[in-house]
Chain A
Amino acid sequence: MSHRKHVTSSGAAARDRGRARLRAVTVSAAAASLIAAGGVAFTLPGAAIASATGTSSGSASGSTRHAASSSGVSSSSGTSKSSSSGLSSPTSAPTSSSGSGQVTSGGS
């Protein structure tokens, strides 16, 4: 009888230890995920400047945060929106001009 009690209590203790470990691993994973999200956000190529000779293309695909217009060239003036592509151009949109254009690339 006492042997069974001992076995039961040691089983319960092992279970409690398992639960505690599970909790610790879960909390660690949550914390690591938040830290990773912050770290990734800071390392993402947001303000990487892609210099282009000539006119920069206003491609709206992928992670490139371009303002799209019918001509494919972004305009930095005003707050016009192009509804067809689902993209809007902010005031800080990448500029494009003849000569050496600059494109601010972001991500999706």
Chain B
Amino acid sequence: MADIKLSTGSTAALPKTALGEMIDRLHEMGYHVIGPQIQDNTIVYKTLDSVDELPKGYISQQDAGTYRLVYTGHQRYFDTTPGAQSWKQFFFPPQTDLATYKRDENGRWQTEEQGKDLTPLALFGVFPCDLAAIQIQDRIFLREEWKDPIYWSRRQSALIITVNCLHPCGTGFCASMGTGPKSNPGFDLNLTELEDVFLVEIGSESGRLVMEGLPVLPPSAFWLQSAQKGLDDAKTKMGRSLPHPELLPDLLLNNLEAARWDDVAQRCMSCTSCTQVCPTCFCWDTHDSASLDGNVAKRQRLWDSCFNPDYTYIVGGNTRPNTRARYRQWLTHKFGSWYPQFGTSGCVGCGRCITWCPAKIDVTVELAAIREEVQA
């Protein structure tokens, strides 16, 4: 085995046969490894015990309202693009306890915060769009003035192993959003899957520690060229595109009465699917419950959606009483007002909202239609 110096910023090659060793190494280092696996005819993210659980040999076919896994028997582990799930469930769980409050005999409330599971997570097989989504959620839950304790407790120790996306999905447009198909910085390790080896880009000291002791090879020029060619090809294989996302805030916020809002409202069912599958949507609600004697109270946090009817309810009225208003809020927020709020688009171009919309509504089509209507 050739001697190779591993350091942050360097790239090594790992034989495909050693991928299992990498997963074992993560387990040895104490990580709770989570990776993509097939369940219910789609890809889910759950505890990964062994390399055999990865969706090797499958491809995924996606279009508006459609997701299909197809077995082709190829030898690649990461050809299936994500299903409905994203990684946000691990840092921002769909339902979690905020605290339990117990009233003592003096009528004083004692707060018991939820115990935090401090086992560090290793997110294994994160596509570049989803790393970008995690970085957007970082801006939402980790502020200068406060940090969300649930998010932070899991995020700060998490290891992120990305995989460059050589077989982009039919509904994705990460190239337009600048989030893929090559991973932006922010990973600990970034893999590119070639026929015989993984090229492994080391992004951090934690990532370097994982690679130590693995049977790495120096990356050959051929492999590096193959990876580059694969990424160049991938850019041309995006199923969707969204030109000039940076112009969308003005387009959307200046055209809040466009006729297209009425049009899309006829098709949208306000089902909330797009917001639940979106890896950046962050809205949440609180849910309170109490024991029968009223002395034990529990607060939970649940994912919410701007499509829910009571999302904007206040006594005396509902500021967004219909689907037109709610769809307009979602789209103008995601592609428009997100910029002034968080300094970035709210969209990473993963295409989930298109794939999982039961009405086959395609944000790239809706945005193009508004653009066209305004220019007409």
A joins B in a complex: no
